[in-house]
Structures are given as C-alpha cells and as structure tokens.
Structure 1
Amino acid sequence: MNEFNEINELFTNEWLQFIEFTSMLIQHILAKLSEEDQVKMRQLFESSKLGKEQIDFMLSNAIIDEEVQAYFEICMNTSKAHGAKKDLKQAFKQLTIAKEHDLNLNLNEAIVHYNKGILLLDLNSKELLSKILTERAKILEQLREYEECLIDIEDAIKFSCKTYPDLDQFKKDITEKLIGYNLKLREEFGPQRNRLNICALTENKQLPSASSLVKMNYSPDKGRFIQAQADIPKGTIVFAEEAYVKWLKPSQYEKFCYFCIKKITLRFFPCRNCTNVRFCCSNCEEEAWNKYHSNECNYLGVLKYFSYGHIAAQCLLIAGIENVIEIEKQTHAELSKWPKKEFKQDYHTFASLCAFDGDWPYPYNFTMCFAVLLVLRLLEKMNLITKQSEDYSTIGYIMIKLISKINLNCYSILNSKFRHLEALNVVSHKETNDGIGTAIYLSASLPSHSCDPNCMKIRNGSMLILTSTRKVKTGEEITITYRPHFKNRSFKDRQHYLYENYSFKCKCNACENVWENIGYSFKCPNCEGPLILNSDKTNYCVECSAANVISYDDVIKQYEESERLIRESKKLFAQNKIDESKELLLKANQILCSFYSHNDQIAIDYLLARCCELQKNYREALKYAKQVIKKQENIFGKSSLEVANTLLLCSLLCDRYKKTFGGIFQRQKRQEAKLFREKALNIFKCFSKSEIRVVSADFSHYLPYVIHILRKYGDEYSLNYCKV
C-alpha cells in the first residue's frame, strides 16, 4: 500500500491527475482482493514488461471489473450533473441583454453577453447565427478590434444562406482599416499574441513540416536523427509542424481554441453541440469536429479527467480503431529503412516512434492498466468497441503502447507571448513555465538532444517551430534540448534528468567535456572560484575541488529572496514607481554578490539601467548597460539581438549624456555612441538571411531605435531587409 502512496505524491498537475485518481482507487481494490490474487498479480506485473497478458488478467478478475464499472459510472454521473448542453431560451435571454448594453454603449459588456448567447445557440439556424455574428462584428469594430471583427464577418458570410452586398462591403472596409492600423504599428512592437501567422512547412517531400535543408538519417547508436544537407543560416526555420494530436488542459478550455490552441480574447466560435470548449473560428471548429470531436463531444465531461488516456483515445479516433488494429498487426519497417521512406503524418509513422523501453515499477504498471480499462469502458460507451469483441484486450494493449509513446515523445504546449516589429521583421518572445497542454509532433520528434543545442523550440499555439540559433554546417546533426542545458543545469543534474526521463546517458559535447552551469554558481568560500550546486544538495568547486562546503538550503533561500525582490521591482517599474523599483533591485544585487556568477544579475542590471535612464542619471545607466552586454554575450551569444538591443541603449544613453557637457567630452561621447550603433547594426546584418528574428521580450525595448538610426544616418547604414 505504501508503494501506491508514493505514486500519489509524484503527480500533482492536470496531466497526471488521471493516474492520481486511479492509484487512489487501486488501494480500495487491493483491500478487496484475496492474498493469493495479490501475490499472483505482483508476480505477473513484475515478471515481464507491461502487455496483453496483464490486461487479460485484469479483465478476467471479477472484483477489478466491478470496481472499474463503479468508478466509470461515478465519472459518467458527474459528467451528466455538470452537463454542457445548448439552451435556446437562455441564448435569446443573453442576446437580449447584449443588445441593451449595445444601445447604452456598454460595448465590453455587450460582447460578454453576445459570447454567452452564441455559446448556447443552436447552430442549425445558420441565418440567425450569421446575423448575430454580424452584430458582434459591429461592436468589435467600435472597439477597434479589427482582426477579431474580420473573423466574425468572414464567418457571418460563410453561414449566410444569401448573398449580402452590405456584408461584402463591411469586410472590405474592415480590411482597409486593419491594413491602416497595422501600417501605423509597423515601426513598433505590435499587440501581444500567443500565435504567429506562420504556416507549416511543405517544401521537404520526405519530411513533412521540415525545411528542405535537412534530411533524416540513421545510425545504430542514435537510431533516426536529423542532419543538415546544406549549410543552414542562423534564424532558419528548420521545422514548423502542427501537432499530430494534442491535449488542452481542461482548466484552459475557456481560454484557448480547442483545436489550434490560439488564445481566446474578446470573441470565440462555439462547438455545434456542447458548451465545454471554444474555438477561434469556424474553420477550427469544423476541423476538430471532423477529426475527433464529433465522437468525443458528448463524453468530454468524462474524458477531461483522463489526460493521457484522452490523448491516446484521440489517436484512435483520428486514425480509426480498425485501421490502428490492422497497422499494429503488421510487421513494422526497420528503423534503418526509414531514411528512404516518406515520413507521412499518419498512424504508420506514429507507430514507429520510440517508446519507453525500461521497466516500470509494479505499482505504476498496475495503475496504468487500470487507467486503460477505464478508457476501454468509455470507448464502449461511445459505441466504438464492444467487450465481446476478440480485439477488446488487443485495443487495451495498444492503448498502453500509445501512452508509453506519448509520455516519451510529447512536448509541452506553453503559453507563448509574441509581439511583432514588422519594419525589422523581429519577434519578441516570452514563454511562461505554465504548460497549457501536451502535443505529439511526428517529424519534430526526430531531432536528438544536446545540452548545447543548435536549434531552439518556439511553441506557437499547437504548432512547434524549431529554428537554428547559430549557423549549422552541412552534415551537422540538428539538435534541441529535451530540457537540460549546460547553461542552466549542472553536469550531474543533466545526466540524472536525462537518464530518469529518457533512459540514456548524454554524450553530447557539453557532457563529454563536463561543462558546468557557471552562470548559476556560488562563490567558493575557500578560493572564491565557481561552486557548482546540484539538486541533490551536493556542491563542489571547479577550481579547488572543495566539496560540500556550503549549505544548499541557505543558498536556495538567498536565491528565492532575490527572485522575490526582482518580481516586486518589475511590478513597481510598470507602475512608474522608479525610485522604489531601484531600491529593491539594489537589495537583490547585494544578495547575489555572494554568487560567483548568477544569470539573474543580467535582469537586475538591465532594469537598473532603465531606472537610471528615466531618472536622467545617464552616467550610471551607461555603467549598468555595459555590464549587461558582457553577461548577454555569455548567455545569448555575441551576435544576438539581445546584445544589439543593449548596444542601442548604450548609444542612446551616450547621445543624451553628451548633451550635459561640451567640448572634448561631447566629442568623445558622440564617437562612443557611433561605435555602439555600428556594433548593433553589424549584429542585424548577421540576420540578413534569417527567416525569423527572435529576441527575448525581456531585452527588446530599444530595438525600434534602429529605425530612427536608419532614417537619420541612412547614407552610413543600411539593412537590405528593413524598409523604413
């Protein structure tokens, strides 16, 4: 019983709630099983890898079968009690309230009630839907939300049974307003979005969604991997791939499109049958409905508790259960033959993905099988399978394989925040650590891990973009990080994480040379060299080899306090409380002085430079900005846009600082400003062939200054991709 309690402690988020629920329920089952059955079960689950034999045993046990049915009925009853059906009467009530708010010019309130009404509306009345979408579009126009307005107009035209010249003219007018609005914003960072307008790549015939500059290869040691077949410039989109299958956290159903995971803002399009989920437009609703949602819609109240069971069920729905069974019965092609095959976006390809090949502990195996039985029961309820079918246990075994592949190959979907500077084609990018879902990408599952990768991941809603972070030479392997990077984790922690989660010992260049995360090291009390901290609370000095000479817990307390001070200072800065913000930053800086080096110091120095700039203390601002450049070069690279941003800040500060003096000093600062400008512009020239220019949102504030420079010093500088 204690073994199962340990499992419960491991899983605390929505993705792992399913196994939490089932592991707790299993404790009740174990209490009911005879001692003989418990011994038999343990022997069976420990003697071999998880498979059809274990599923058959659980299906044949009457007590387990009763518990599965009882728990499933609880789930179904809970789902019915919180039903999400359409209600025409309530829909008209909400629409009436919306019109009253519209008449009183309470536009935001009107949008809220239009959304409630549309959500509850029966979509079979297409003409009515078209009319209501048009009314909502008119309010969005008044709010100057032209992009959202245009989507509603296009959907209104689509659902209208007649041709309305007024609607066509409305669309034309809004399109012109949107172009004008975007034109005004092209020389500054635009509004924040969580999805860029980037399409999946189609140029590579062998690898869908991959660049034509890469190919698949194979080696006995690595298996399949991705290799550059031509030089790849920095900033090249290597993969841009829509998810084969994805899962959105139930807590995010009202906040993101259920299909493309685009952030829902002022408006949404409803499901034709339920009120559980939202879509960004009718096209996403149709795609979801045709691929899987038509089968799952009435059971989403249950499926939302099933997490990885839900995404495994979606795999079956997308591919078709009979087709999946047939494919799984076939002899799969050897991995060595895949480089000569087309890597299609289908179940054949999904079935070829690697699965976890280690031995799961007995409690996890038993819990996994029980979870699969619950999904099987739901598939029965959906009339997709029958318990009497000879393939019933086969489907259960396939589900176990699916879950194993999903857990090994899945990517987290993060809530990215993008802002586009159109004139320079630069995208500021910020990712929160809060995952909003999980996805499987077929082609993008092939790049290998490196703790010093040459490509970075950009989560673009349900799309994954991999872009090169440096020039990749012909024949070089395309690599990403599976999370550990030598700049943010110690060698020991990287090795442990990768072995525990992916069952391999990393032999990348960073690990072969035992590169440590100096940027997060503490100052050794013996020699003041970099003291490396490991998550198991051990520590050692790189220079004098002293071991365990400080308290890990004390260091973490200092670090957490500095993090708190930085967060509070950012809030104060946003409120224009510059003096208070600066005071907290100086306190945080004082704490981090005990570190040999700490990457958080870059955020402190940068914000201090901005505070001093606003206080017109240009000399001190310049001092902090120069410190930032040195740290940025170590973290982002010397030719990064983050460095260019701070160089532009330095140039700006020199220009302002020189005005406070005259004579020789003024000429010196003028020359210094020119040098900073030239260095920044030279970095931009490195991105001349880049398809995407991504910069951290935390270090992007001064990039629009480039446009001012090009206007003022147009004869001296030029960027062939920049039009001002």
Structure 2
Amino acid sequence: MATIGNWQAATESIWKASSINCIDQFKSLKDEIDKIAFMHKMGNIGNVSWLQFYMESCEKLHLKSPEKSTQHRNYGNKLFQEKKYKDALEFYTQSVMEAPDKTRDLGLAYGNHSAVCFYLKLYQETIESIKLAFDNQYPEPTSYKLYLRWAHCLYHTGDMQQASKKVNTAKKEVFENKEIEEKRKVKLLEEIKLLDENIAKNRSYETTEDNKEVQPELFHDRDTVLTQASSAVTMKFHKDRGRYLQATCKIPAGSVIIAEKPFATVLLPDHYQTHCHHCIGQLTAVVPCRRCSTVLYCSETCRQQSWSIYHQIECQYLDICHSIGIAHLSLRIVLTAGLQHLLDFRDKSASEFYQKEDRIGGVTEEGTYDKTYLSVYDLMTHALDIETADSFQYTLTALLLLTILKKSGWLEKKSGDVETTNDNTENITKLQFSHDDLYIGGLLLRHIEQLVCNAHAITELQVTQTSDTSLVDSKSQERVATAIYPTTSLLNHSCDPSIIPGFDKDKLVVRVIKDVEAGEEIFNCYGPHHKRMSKMERQQALKTQYFFTCQCPSCQAYDEQDIFTSYCCPLCKAALKENETTCSCTACDFTDHVTMFLTNENTAKNMFIDGLKCLQIQDIEGAIQNFTNCLNVQLKVLYKHHKSLAETKDCLAQCYALSKKYNKAIPYLRDSVCTLGKLYGDTSIEYANELHKFAGVLYYAEGFLEEGLTVIDKAVQIFTLHCGNKYELVQELEEMKICMLDKLKIE
C-alpha cells in the first residue's frame, strides 16, 4: 500500500535545498506559465521520495471491499446490541461506504443503517436508508422488517396515508413469509395491529411535509449586471481600492443583498461522513461513490454531477488532494471549468474587448458579472506581493496538480468522460507537457495565488454538550468546506462590517446587519473583527494575508478589546492599564506590581482546570466547588467583563443546570451573557446563541418566565437579522415562547 508524506514539508524542503542561482532565476519570472515550465525543467518534484511510489499505487487505494464492509457491519451490530447507537451508526456508515454497488452486502449495510437511525429518531434518514436497501439486493425474507420500520417512521413524521400503505405491505409480507416462526409472527401481527390503530386515530392530525427549499428573498429585484446580487447594490471601481459594492438605495438591517452559488467548492475531509461531497448539505441519505470508499453524497443527482465534473479525476488522488490544503480548490476550479472551455477562454481573452485597459474585471461582453470562469479568473492574485518562498512552493503545488491531470488523462479530454489510459508507472519527472498543458498549469498557479485572499470558508453552527441533559452548551461556527464566490469577493474589508454571511448548503446568503444608506460602501470582514481581535492582531493578520493596512473606523479608534483581558483596580474596580512590570488605574491613583495579579490569575486557572476535570467525569459537586473557588480568586483581580470571569460563571451555570438547580444558575449565566454581549456586540450571533441558552434555563427556573420572554424576543430579533425567520433556532425559540405564555396563564 502506498503511503503519503507531508506535501507542505516536501515543498519547504525543496525550497531550502535550492541553489541561489535557481532562486534568482525563479524570481526573474513574472508569468505563471513560465514558472510552471521552469519548475518542471528543474525536476524538483522527482526529489520527493514517496511521491512516485504513491502515483504508481494510488489507483489501488480506497477501493470497495466486501470483507471490510462485513467487518464494519459486524462491529456495528455489537455496538448496537450494547445500545451504543451513535458509535454503531459510524460503523454502519463505514459498512455502506466499503460495500460494492448493487450487492447484497450494500443492501444489508443499508438495512442496519436504517435500524440505528430509527433508534436515534432520525426518521427521514431511516426512510432514505430503507429505500437504498431495497435498491441494493436487500434479502427478501427479512424485507418485512424494513416495511414495518418505514411505517413507524411515516407515523412519527405525520404522513398517515403513506404509513397506512406501508403497514399493509408489512402485514402482507409477514403473512406470506414462511420462514418466520409462529410465535414471532404473532408478535409482529400484534405490533402491526397496534400501529394500524394508532394511524387511524391520528388521521385528523396528519401533516404533509413540504420538501421545497425556502429560498431567501433578495431585497429588491435581482440585478441585471450583478446577477447573483440585489439591484440595491452596484459595482464601482476606484484605482486605489479596486472593485467594490455600493448601496443604490437605503437598505434596512436584515435584508438579503447576495444569494450566490459557488463557482467551485471543496468539502473538508473531517466532514466526509456527515456532509454531501458535492452540495455540502448535511447527509440525510448515505450515497457512496461507486468506485471509492471515501466520499458520500446526499442523492444520486449529486453523485452523478460530482463524478462528471471532477470526482472521476480526483477519486484515486484524494489523499494527495488532502495534503495540499487550499490548493485543492484550485484543481476543482479548473475541473469545473472544463478543458475545452479553458482553451476557448484563452483564445477569447486575446480579443480586443478583453484587452481594453478600462475593462472592469469579471464583466462579460454582454455587460454582466455572473458565476462564470471569467469572474474567477479576474479576481486579484497579489502575485507581486507574495514572498518568493511562498510563490516557489505554490508553483511546486501547481505542478503537482498538473501532473495529476496529465496522469489521469484529463489533459487529453475535450468532451465526455475521462478514460484513464496513462501509465502510472511512468516517472513523473519524465512527463512531457505541451504548450496547452503548461497553460493549464499556469491557471492552476494563478488560482492558488487568488485563493489566499479570495477563498471563503463555508461554516456551520456546531453544538458541544457536556451531557445529553445539559441546557448550558457551547456553540461555535465550524468550517466544513472552502469555496470561491466571485460576487461576494468584490466586497472590501472593514473590521466592523456591514454584512454577515450565512450558508444554505453551499449557497452563500449575504445579509446586511446594520442599516446602509444610499451611496454607502458595503463592507465584509475578512476574519479580523474588531469584537474578536485586538487592533494590533487585526493589522498584522490583514497585512500578512491580504497585503494592506486597514484604515477602517475601528482601526482609527480606541481598542476596546483591552477591557476583556484587564485586571481590576482593588480600590474603585475600574479596568487597570498594564505594562511590563506594573498595573495602574486611570480612575484613581492606585498602582501596584503586576506579580500579585499574575499569581492570583494563575492560581485561578489551576482551579478552573480542576473544575473541568470534575465536569468531564460528571462529578458535579466537585466541579461546583472548584469553579466557585476559582471565581472567588478571579473576582479579586479580574475586571468585571474579563473573558475568563465570564467563562467561569458560564461553567458554574452549566453545573447548576445539570443538577436541575436552575434558579442558582441564573445569576451566573446572566453575568456571562452580559459580558459576551459587550465582547461580541449586542447584535452578534455569539450573543444570540448565549441568549438562546439563557432562555432555556429561564424556562425551567421558577419565577423567571417574564424575563425569559424578553430574552427570547431579543434572541429571535438577532437570529432573524443574521439568518432570516426560517432559521431553525428561531422556530425553536418561538415554540418555547408559546410554552412560556401557556405557563404564565396557568400561574
């Protein structure tokens, strides 16, 4: 089996081993094609010891294995019997991925997958797995189990009409099955009768599932030039600031101004088992690649589209794609565009229109800026700003990707599916690249350079709970994929942005989070936010990655982040100013050596760690004692809005909520929520998540329902601003509000 090394380490090693003469020659090259040709001539990737062996062996990796499928299924069965359903689900998913297409092994894997989904109350997932089991030779003698399970799912989801049909099918299967023992048959028929009666009772409450996706409405009509944006925005150009977006009218907070599908996207490997490889949606159906045991899709449509556009090339090279980081998206851009289109694009871009000096980048001859390859090609590369070492390594990576395209046969393809006919045993340094091939290599390099500044992270809200019964949990945005959105890339940066991005699968939905006046520029935040990073950290990050010094209002103002890491004055409780040796108060005359504050802070940190250890093993009383001791020390030295103080109070609230002592949790959580509101801003998604958490505790406490209603209204307002009124947590909070109002009536 081939082993893959660290590509980033390999490129760094080649750079360090390169002669001064080689580096000087490389530095003199300005054109991407020339850089690719030079690097190929040097033969540097041939010095990567493991690469040739990997290229020779990769087509044998991650192929389907009935033996592995059976092993995973058997181990999943063991976990299922032990009622470890979440662990069993993981192994049943692996069993599905390993089983060859249209085989009994795949049918059995789907059958077991449906069972564990049912026990986890994932009813839609159960139904999808049952359908796929029947499509893949699930054994007929036990098919009654699936029909009965299907009926139960339909009953639970409120589709009584279809549930009744499946019950009748299950009854027929049981009656006609001669392999079922008589006692077992009697029990099954009793279960079927009871389910049938329940379905009949609930006919009047039947619901119909609306499977249509709710599309966010753009503020005003869709623009005729910026086809992915609202007509409330327009594209402008300035010689110093480049292209940017400006409001054509007043845009109220919460309005959607861009709803954009990506030109190309790449799912991160950590999410291969939970998200669709093509549309990035969370999996409700588990549809594996027909060739490899690595990726999953949500539907046959996504599987077919992925294969025809890019996966037929990437399938056997996914390991190396994982090792090159964001450059994988460069490969995906080229594959998405297609070879013939890229060659035609080269010819077209030489025409008079595209050579005009005053042409606005990305705008076609028809006068539109759309989700086209042109709009991607014209994104800024910052090639002249990139350090030589980085450019050298980017070129090596682009050459590696070009090698993959050559070996896969893609560079010989003009249309239709690729037939891999190249000899993988051929030494990679002896490959011959035509002028057309080198042009493609130049595009790969160009896109790598662009992605450093223009790639967008597709994020998703992740919830971390201490236990299944915890009300006080942690929520954070986690990156699940990387994509390129040409329209949204037009937005310039501000550390205090006008917009917030949200995602519906791979669709980027951009909402303004503050009122924007007509003629105002609309700003995005490239990561460094004034509520999350200090001015110094923001300036350094932006300069390093984006090559500019930010001059936004937040970077001109006082850095308010200091108060969240400050010590407090023991005399007047104001935030202290700290230097290398002393702490001093600007509100009174207090000054003292910093050592005392540091000592107490470190003592508190150790207590906090001990509290977390207790919490992890469900020693709630021990955790409360440690967190209380920690808090008492922190209150002596930390400013009231210090982040560590808020964290300790949050943990104490969590402990009391786990103990169902909700009233004791409230004062701690109230303080923690207040600090986070100041830290992230009172319209931030982080603040809304904390309010959502706080509302849950107020609901279960005694005597706090009216405060709970106020908290819910504030949280709903913020979530709607960021995500629209169809957002899952908005619906959940609205339901909680109804329950609170009902409880108030009873009281």
Give TM-score scaled by structure 1 length: 0.72
Q: Are the counterparts in 2 of residues 524 and 541 from structure 1 also a CA contact under 8 Å? A: no
- The Cα shift of 1:486 comes to 1.7
Are 1:347 and 2:373 matched, yes or no? yes
Q: Are the counterparts in 2 of residues 490 and 532 from structure 1 also a CA contact under 8 Å? A: no
Bigger mean CA deviation after superposition, 171-180 or 406-415? 171-180
Q: Which amino acid aligns with 1:706?
A: K
- The Cα shift of 1:73 comes to 1.0
- 1:111-161 Cα deviation digits (max 9, x unpaired): 6665444323332x3898668645643553355321211222454577799
- Measured in 2, the distance between the counterparts of 1:463 and 1:542 equals 50
Q: Are the counterparts in 2 of residues 416 and 460 from structure 1 also a CA contact under 8 Å? A: no
Q: Are the counterparts in 2 of residues 636 and 642 from structure 1 also a CA contact under 8 Å? A: no
1:363 match:
389
- The Cα shift of 1:383 comes to 1.4
- The Cα shift of 1:509 comes to 1.7
1:54 match:
35
What pairs up with 1:413-452 in 2 under 5 angstroms?
413-414=458-459, 416-417=461-462, 430-431=475-476, 435-452=479-496
User: Alignment partner for residue 73 of structure 1, among 52, 60, 68?
Assistant: 52
Helix, strand or coil for the counterpart of 1:517?
A: helix
- The Cα shift of 1:275 comes to 1.4
Q: Are the counterparts in 1 of residues 76 and 89 from structure 2 also a CA contact under 8 Å? A: yes
Helix, strand or coil for the counterpart of 1:439?
A: strand
2:266 match:
247
- Measured in 2, the distance between the counterparts of 1:678 and 1:65 equals 63
What pairs up with 1:539-578 in 2 under 5 angstroms?
569=611, 572=614, 577-578=619-620
Q: Are the counterparts in 1 of residues 287 and 296 from structure 2 also a CA contact under 8 Å? A: yes
Helix, strand or coil for the counterpart of 1:342?
A: coil
Are 1:151 and 2:177 matched, yes or no? no
What pairs up with 1:315-464 in 2 under 5 angstroms?
315-328=333-346, 330=349, 331=354, 334-335=359-360, 338=363, 341-385=367-411, 387-414=432-459, 416-417=461-462, 430-431=475-476, 435-458=479-502, 462-464=506-508
Helix, strand or coil for the counterpart of 2:157?
A: helix
- The Cα shift of 1:651 comes to 6.7
Q: Which amino acid aligns with 1:430?
A: K
Are 1:45 and 2:40 matched, yes or no? no
Helix, strand or coil for the counterpart of 1:456?
A: strand
2:11 match:
22
Q: Are the counterparts in 2 of residues 529 and 541 from structure 1 also a CA contact under 8 Å? A: no
- Measured in 2, the distance between the counterparts of 1:504 and 1:444 equals 19
- The Cα shift of 1:482 comes to 1.4
Are 1:258 and 2:272 matched, yes or no? no
| Cα distance change, pair 606–111 in 1 and its aligned pair in 2 (3 A) | closer
Structure with the larger RCO, 1 or 2 (CA within 8 Å, 6+ apart): 1
Q: Which amino acid aligns with 1:76?
A: M
Q: Are the counterparts in 2 of residues 210 and 241 from structure 1 also a CA contact under 8 Å? A: yes
Helix, strand or coil for the counterpart of 1:412?
A: strand
Q: Are the counterparts in 1 of residues 262 and 371 from structure 2 also a CA contact under 8 Å? A: no
- The Cα shift of 1:502 comes to 0.6
- 1:696-718 Cα deviation digits (max 9, x unpaired): 99x999986523332245799xx
1:676 match:
707
- The Cα shift of 1:294 comes to 1.2
2:528 match:
484
- Measured in 1, the distance between the counterparts of 2:677 and 2:319 equals 50
Are 1:177 and 2:144 matched, yes or no? no
Helix, strand or coil for the counterpart of 1:497?
A: helix
Q: Are the counterparts in 2 of residues 239 and 467 from structure 1 also a CA contact under 8 Å? A: yes
- Measured in 2, the distance between the counterparts of 1:479 and 1:565 equals 43
- Measured in 2, the distance between the counterparts of 1:694 and 1:572 equals 39
User: Alignment partner for residue 522 of structure 1, among 557, 562, 566?
Assistant: 566
Are 1:512 and 2:531 matched, yes or no? no
- The Cα shift of 1:474 comes to 4.5
Are 1:120 and 2:120 matched, yes or no? no
2:198 match:
none
1:306 match:
324
- The Cα shift of 1:496 comes to 1.8
2:740 match:
709
Q: Are the counterparts in 1 of residues 362 and 369 from structure 2 also a CA contact under 8 Å? A: no
| Cα distance change, pair 573–418 in 1 and its aligned pair in 2 (3 A) | closer
| Cα distance change, pair 576–452 in 1 and its aligned pair in 2 (3 A) | same
Are 1:140 and 2:165 matched, yes or no? no
| Cα distance change, pair 567–152 in 1 and its aligned pair in 2 (3 A) | farther
- The Cα shift of 1:495 comes to 1.5
- Measured in 1, the distance between the counterparts of 2:311 and 2:605 equals 43
Helix, strand or coil for the counterpart of 1:152?
A: helix
- 1:371-411 Cα deviation digits (max 9, x unpaired): 22222222211112373422233222222111001111112
Report the identity percentage: 20
Q: Are the counterparts in 1 of residues 698 and 705 from structure 2 also a CA contact under 8 Å? A: yes
1:670 match:
none
Q: Are the counterparts in 2 of residues 416 and 432 from structure 1 also a CA contact under 8 Å? A: yes
1:186 match:
none
- Measured in 1, the distance between the counterparts of 2:244 and 2:26 equals 34
Q: Which amino acid aligns with 1:120?
A: E
Q: Are the counterparts in 1 of residues 228 and 371 from structure 2 also a CA contact under 8 Å? A: no
Are 1:83 and 2:90 matched, yes or no? no
Can you give the 5+ residue segments of structure 1 that lack an aligned partner in the other structure? 1-15, 31-37, 182-195, 420-427, 657-672, 717-724
* Equivalences, count: 642
Helix, strand or coil for the counterpart of 1:335?
A: coil
Helix, strand or coil for the counterpart of 1:226?
A: strand
| Cα distance change, pair 270–551 in 1 and its aligned pair in 2 (3 A) | farther
User: Alignment partner for residue 724 of structure 2, among 688, 692, 699?
Assistant: 692
- Measured in 1, the distance between the counterparts of 2:548 and 2:581 equals 23
Q: Which amino acid aligns with 2:456?
A: Y
1:204 match:
222
Q: Which amino acid aligns with 2:371?
A: Q
User: Alignment partner for residue 631 of structure 1, among 675, 681, 685?
Assistant: 675
User: Alignment partner for residue 244 of structure 2, among 200, 222, 225?
Assistant: 225
Q: Which amino acid aligns with 1:204?
A: R
Can you give the 5+ residue segments of structure 2 that lack an aligned partner in the other structure? 161-211, 413-431, 465-472
| Cα distance change, pair 228–119 in 1 and its aligned pair in 2 (3 A) | same
Q: Which amino acid aligns with 1:313?
A: L
- 1:504-557 Cα deviation digits (max 9, x unpaired): 1212121122443134332388998656789xx99998959x9x99879996x9
| Cα distance change, pair 579–129 in 1 and its aligned pair in 2 (3 A) | closer
Q: Which amino acid aligns with 1:122?
A: P
Q: Which amino acid aligns with 1:709?
A: M
